[in-house]
Amino acid sequence: MNQQLAGYAPAPVAARMENHGHHMVKVAMQTGNDLLARVGSMVAYEGFVQYEPNPPAVRQIARDWITGEGAPLMKCSGDGLLYLADYGADVVIINLAGDSLSVNGTNLLAFDASLQWGVERVKGLAKFAGQGLWNIKVSGQGWVALTSRGTPIVVDCGRGEDETYVDPDALIAWSPNLKVKGKRSFRAGSLIGRGSGEAYQMGFSGEGIVVVQPSEDSTDRLRIRS
Taking phi over 0 as left and psi of -120 to 50 as alpha, with beta for the rest, 98 belongs to left
- Element at 5 (helix H, strand E): helix 2-6
Q: Which residues of 131-140 are buried (b: 16+ CB within 10 A; e: fewer)?
A: ebbbbbbbbb
On whether the CB atoms of residues 78 and 47 are closer than 8 A, the answer is yes
Q: Is residue 140 involved in binding another protein (CB under 8 A)? A: no
Q: What is the closest distance, in whole angstroms, from the C-beta atom of residue 63 to another protein in the complex?
A: 28
Mask of contacts with another protein, 91-130, x by CB under 8 A? -xxxxxxxx-x-----------------------------
Which residues neighbour 44 within 8 Å (Cβ) at sequence distance 6 or greater?
A: 82, 83
Residue 140 backbone phi and psi in degrees, to 5: 120, -160
Q: SS in 3 state form for 79-105?
A: EEEEEECCCCCEEEEEECCCCEEEEEH
Q: What is the closest distance, in whole angstroms, from the C-beta atom of residue 198 to another protein in the complex?
A: 5
User: Which residue number, 95 or 114, has a Cβ lying nearer to another protein?
Assistant: 95
Q: What is the closest distance, in whole angstroms, from the C-beta atom of residue 11 to another protein in the complex?
A: 5
| Segment interacting with another protein, rule: CB under 8 A, options 3-11, 58-66, 110-118, 124-132 | 3-11
Q: Is residue 136 involved in binding another protein (CB under 8 A)? A: no
Task: Please choose, from the candidates 135, 69, 79, 139, the residue with its C-alpha nearest in 3D space to the C-alpha of residue 111.
Answer: 139
Within residues 158-187, the interface with another protein by CB under 8 A covers 159-160, 162-167, 170, 175, 185
Q: Is residue 210 involved in binding another protein (CB under 8 A)? A: yes
Mask of contacts with another protein, 60-79, x by CB under 8 A? -------------------x
Q: Is residue 225 involved in binding another protein (CB under 8 A)? A: no
In degrees to the nearest 10, what's the CA dihedral of 87, 90, 93, 94?
-120
Residue 170 backbone phi and psi in degrees, to 5: -105, 0
User: Which residue number, 71 or 170, has a Cβ lying nearer to another protein?
Assistant: 170
| Segment interacting with another protein, rule: CB under 8 A, options 53-61, 63-71, 108-116, 149-157 | 149-157
Q: Applying CB under 8 A, which residues contact another protein? A: 3, 6-9, 11-16, 18-22, 28-31, 33, 46-47, 79-81, 92-99, 101, 149-156, 159-160, 162-167, 170, 175, 185, 189, 194-198, 201, 209-216, 226
